[in-house]
């Protein structure tokens, strides 16, 4: 994979050079190429994830799930996507039109951008930024704004309440999430994703930071609004949460962002704690996918086995339990590094 | 990267930052004003990136967009006419406000003109992050600690204020 990308890069640079174009054309071309690659990856990934969710949930509940379209319903999501594309794009009369229209894209864009710093394999990363982990957490916070805007602009009480709950939850769980990642950053001594993977060449960080890993997984579950933290979209109370009024393509954008986010937090967990793409025998890209999907499956098991928390339980859990735990972990990590 | 791209994007980011700031001032809908503020924050982050301060840019987005702006939008949504989309801002005390703003602008301009900033040292090529951390915990330790104390004070103050309401 790395070799292939290098060959492609050289070919492209040679092409631009021989055409006598300035060097920024090369960079621009690389950017477009990366965007197309990430876009295609996310599209295929989400189609697969939706099918997987339905299958896992069905089997946990002793059902079959989709069976008719393709082998074990494998292309069911494709059919659903086509159906969704044909749907009328309704807009509520009382909505705030510009914000209503922009919000779905605001939800999707940061997720795509975040994939820029995910190391898929040895050298298979769009840009290994110096501030990699910080960039990830910073860019994914924009999601909250999209959810608030969407919920508010819809002009419906259900979506507004959903947006509210979502914002409160995401902001609260953001804090332990970032703090749990800090322990890893301290051990690796760098925020570069590549360097963090490099630092785990012998022992995975989950061995040194089991507490941080637990805090990260819990907070990440909350960040992607999965049960037991799915109060923002509690069906019985809110119909569907912040996206009630959305239909057609715009609804699909929110949906896409949600599933892509689920993979994103799993991929981050795999990179920060489980050694990223490193592993014996198999190629790195495969290891990366295996580890990420292991976390995805974990999140799915959570979703279909735990009941939902109440709002006050949710908040006190984040601030009174997870946050102190993350601080204790940070302190212990600092002490150990300072002493030994 | 060629020079004109760099300069062009710098001015573009600066223009967007100003545009966002003007939006905050002149948009009548409070929620829209909040979103405009986010645009401005983003453009400032872009300026930081162009100036080689990636860490500052990341923190700018994380803190200002992810926390402060979200809090502002939250507060807007908590205002009385919750579900109404006609949350309006009004212009009050125009004359004193303009006077204060002009005075502030004057002071800022004076400082800018008087100040002789040292020419920026060449950016450390290896990892500016290490350098930043080193400086924060050695040369600038005192200001760093003073600021954290100040923030702690603000935090405690906010809690005290919030609790007073509860006791009543």
Asked whether the beta carbons of residue B66 and residue A144 sit closer than 8 angstroms, the reply is yes
Q: Please tell me the distance from the alpha carbon of residue A290 to that of residue A270, in angstroms, as a whole number.
A: 9
CA proximity to A326, closest of A138, A209, A179:
A179
> Which ipTM did the prediction report?
0.80
What pLDDT is stored for residue A233 in this prediction? 66
- The yes-or-no verdict on residue B106 having pLDDT over 90 is yes
pLDDT at B120: 59
Residue with the two structure tokens 């295996």: A290
| Other CB atoms within 10 Å distance of the CB of residue B114 | 7
B45: number of Cβ within 10 Å: 24
Using CA of residue A197, residue A201, residue A207, residue A208, what is the dihedral sign?
A: negative
Provide residues of B within 8 Å CB-CB of chain A.
1-2, 5, 29, 31-32, 35, 38, 54-55, 57-59, 61-62, 65-67, 69-71, 73-74, 77, 82-83, 85, 127-129
- A99:B1 CB<8 A: no
Whether the bond between A181 and the residue before it is cis, its omega within 30 degrees of 0, is no
> What does the radius of gyration of chain A's CA atoms come to, in whole angstroms?
21
Per-residue pLDDT band for B14 (boundaries 50, 70, 90) equals very high
- Is A122 at the interface with chain B, CB within 8 A? no
- Structure tokens given for A44: 């295929």
> Minimal CA–CA distance to B55: which of B132, B122, B126, B119?
B132
- Residue A161: which pLDDT band, with cuts at 50, 70 and 90? confident
* pLDDT number for residue B18: 92
> A192 to each of A31, A118, A239, A272, B55, how far by Cα in Å?
20, 10, 41, 11, 12
pLDDT at residue A272 is higher than 80? yes
Q: Does residue A63 sit within a domain? A: no
CB contact under 8 A, A160 and B32: no
Check residue B84 and give its pLDDT: 55
Q: Contact at 8 Å (CB) between B45 and B63?
A: no
Nearest to A178 by CA among B67, B105, B167: B67
Q: Is residue A149 part of a domain?
A: yes
Cβ of B55 within 8 Å of Cβ of A134? The answer is: yes
CA distance A232 to A164: 8
Q: pLDDT (tens digit, 9 = 90+) per residue, A122-140?
A: 777 877 888 888 888 888 8
Q: How far, in Å, CA of B76 to CA of B27, rounded? A: 14
Count of Cβ atoms closer than 10 Å to residue B64 Cβ: 20
What per-residue confidence (pLDDT) applies to B88? 59
Model confidence at B80, pLDDT cuts 50, 70, 90, reads low
Instruction: Please report which residue ranges of chain B form alpha helices under DSSP H.
Output: 3-26, 30-50, 54-59, 70-78, 94-114, 128-136, 141-167
In this prediction, residue A274 carries a pLDDT of: 87
pLDDT tens readout for residues B19-30: 999 988 888 777
- Say whether pLDDT at A245 is over 90: no
Q: Residue A296 falls within a domain, yes or no?
A: yes
How many angstroms separate the CA of residue A140 from the nearest CA in chain B? 9
- Number of other residues whose CB lies within 10 A of the CB of residue B16: 17
Note the pLDDT tens digit of each residue in A174-204: 888 888 988 888 888 888 888 888 888 888 8
Architecture of the domain defined by B1-87: Up-down Bundle (1.20)
Query: Looking at the domain assignment, is residue A187 inside a domain?
Result: yes
The H or E element containing residue A129 is: none
Tally of CB atoms within 10 A around A37? 15
- Which residues in chain B are contacts of A131 at CB distance < 8 A? 54-55, 57-58, 129
The answer to the question of residue A36 being in a domain is no
Residue A320 domain-assigned (yes or no) = yes
How many CB atoms are closer than 10 A to CB A248? Answer: 15
B87 or A182, which is more confident: A182
Q: Which position has the token pair 């967007």?
A: B16
3-state secondary structure of A124: strand
- Summary mean pLDDT of chain A: 83
Most confident among A229-233, A237-241, B46-50, B129-133 (mean pLDDT): B46-50
Residue in B61, B69, B77 closest to A152 by CB: B77
Mean pLDDT for A3-28 is: 77
User: How buried is residue A151: exposed, middle or buried, by Cβ count under 10 Å (0-12/13-18/19+)?
Assistant: buried
Which of A91, A133, A140, A152 to mutate against chain B (most B CBs within 10 Å)? A152
A124 in a structural domain = yes
The C-alpha of A145 sits at a distance from chain B's nearest C-alpha, in angstroms, of 6
**Which residue from A23, A139, A148 is facing B61, i.e. has the nearest CB?**
A139
Closest to A145 (Cβ–Cβ): which among B54, B70, B77? Answer: B70
Report the pLDDT averaged over residues A71-91. 79
Beta bridge partners of B29: B88
Of B62, B70, B85, the CB nearest to A138: B62
Tokens 């030994």 sit on residue: A340
Q: Are A249 and A85 in contact (CB under 8 A)?
A: yes
Q: Which of B48, B64, B85, B133 to mutate to test the interface with A (most CBs of A within 10 A)?
A: B85
Tokens linked to B1: 């990267």
pLDDT at A8: 79
- C-alpha A108/C-alpha A111 separation (Å) is 6
Token reading at A114 = 């975040």
Instruction: Give domain status of residue A201, yes or no.
Output: yes
The residue ranges of DSSP E strands in B35-104, in sequence order, are none
A144 touches chain B (CB under 8 A): yes
Question: A99 touching B, CB under 8 A?
Answer: yes
Interface contact flag, A145 B82, Cβ < 8 Å = no
Report the pLDDT value the prediction gives residue B89, as an integer from 0 to 100. Answer: 62
Give the pLDDT mean for A302-308.
Answer: 81
> What's the average model confidence in pLDDT over A254-281?
86
Mean pLDDT, residues B4-25 taken together = 88
Q: Name the DSSP letter for residue B139.
A: T
Residue A232 has what pLDDT?
Answer: 64
Contact B77 A149 (CB under 8 A): no
Model pTM score: 0.84
Report the pLDDT value the prediction gives residue A243, as an integer from 0 to 100: 73
Helices (H), chain A: 2-18, 23-60, 76-86, 97-114, 132-140, 142-153, 157-188, 193-199, 205-208, 210-223, 235-238, 248-273, 284-305, 311-316, 323-339
pLDDT at A105: 87
| Residue A217 lies in domain | 87-338
Burial of A183 (0-12, 13-18, 19+ CB in 10 A): buried
Q: Is residue B40's pLDDT more than 80?
A: yes
| Chain B neighbors of A27, CB-CB under 8 A | 1
Mean of the pLDDT values across residues A146-162? 80
Residue B135 has pLDDT above 60, yes or no: yes
Kindly tell me if the per-residue pLDDT of B122 is higher than 80: no
The residue among A229, A225, A221 whose CA lies nearest residue A268 is A221
- Give the range among A61-65, A107-111, A240-244, B118-122 with minimum mean pLDDT: B118-122
The residue in chain A having the minimum alpha-carbon distance to the alpha carbon of residue B38 is A145
Total domains present in chain A: 1
């Amino acid at each position: 994979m790395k070799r292939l990308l290098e060959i492609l890069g050289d070919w492209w640079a040679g092409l631009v050079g021989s055409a006598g174009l300035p060097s920024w054309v090369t960079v621009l071309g690389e950017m477009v190429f990366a965007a197309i690659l990430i876009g295609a990856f996310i599209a295929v990934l989400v189609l697969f994830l939706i099918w997987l969710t339905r299958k896992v949930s069905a089997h946990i509940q002793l059902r079959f799930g989709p069976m008719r379209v393709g082998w074990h319903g494998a292309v069911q999501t494709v059919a659903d996507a086509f159906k969704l594309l044909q749907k009328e794009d309704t807009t509520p009369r009382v909505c705030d039109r510009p914000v209503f229209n922009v919000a779905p894209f605001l939800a999707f864009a940061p997720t795509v951008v975040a994939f820029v710093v995910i190391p898929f394999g040895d050298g298979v990363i769009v840009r290994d930024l110096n501030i990699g982990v910080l960039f990830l957490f910073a860019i994914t916070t924009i999601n909250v704004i999209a959810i608030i805007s969407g919920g508010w602009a819809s002009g419906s009480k259900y979506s507004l309440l959903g947006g509210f709950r979502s914002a409160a939850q995401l902001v609260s769980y953001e804090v332990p999430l970032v703090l749990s990642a800090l322990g890893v950053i301290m051990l690796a001594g760098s925020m570069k994703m590549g360097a963090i993977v490099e630092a785990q060449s012998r022992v995975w960080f989950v061995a040194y930071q089991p507490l941080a890993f637990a805090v990260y997984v819990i907070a990440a579950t909350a960040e992607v609004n999965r049960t037991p933290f799915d109060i923002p979209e509690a069906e019985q109370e809110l119909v569907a949460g912040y996206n009630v009024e959305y239909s057609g393509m715009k609804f699909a954008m929110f949906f896409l962002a949600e599933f892509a986010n689920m993979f994103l937090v799993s991929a981050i967990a795999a990179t920060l704690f489980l050694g990223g793409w490193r592993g014996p025998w198999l190629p790195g890209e495969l290891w990366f996918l295996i580890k990420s999907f292991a976390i995805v499956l974990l999140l799915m098991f959570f979703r279909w086995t735990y009941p939902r928390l109440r709002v006050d339980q949710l908040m006190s859990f984040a601030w009174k339990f997870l946050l102190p735990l993350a601080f204790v972990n940070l302190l212990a990590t600092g002490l150990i590094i300072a002493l030994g | 990267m060629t020079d004109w791209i760099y300069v062009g994007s710098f001015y573009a980011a600066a223009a967007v930052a100003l545009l966002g700031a003007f939006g905050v001032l002149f948009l009548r809908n409070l929620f829209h004003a909040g979103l405009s503020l986010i645009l401005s924050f983003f453009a400032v982050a872009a300026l930081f990136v162009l100036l080689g301060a990636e860490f500052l840019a990341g923190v700018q987005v994380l803190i200002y967009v992810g926390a402060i702006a979200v809090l502002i939008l939250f507060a807007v949504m908590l205002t009385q006419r919750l579900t109404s989309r006609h949350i309006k801002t009004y212009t009050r005390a125009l004359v004193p406000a303009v006077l204060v703003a002009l005075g502030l602008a004057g002071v800022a301009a004076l400082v800018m003109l008087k100040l002789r900033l040292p020419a920026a040292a060449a950016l450390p090529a290896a990892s500016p992050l290490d350098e930043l951390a080193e400086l924060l915990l050695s040369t600038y330790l005192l200001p760093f600690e003073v600021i954290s104390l100040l923030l702690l004070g603000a935090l405690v103050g906010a809690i005290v204020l919030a609790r007073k309401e509860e006791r009543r």
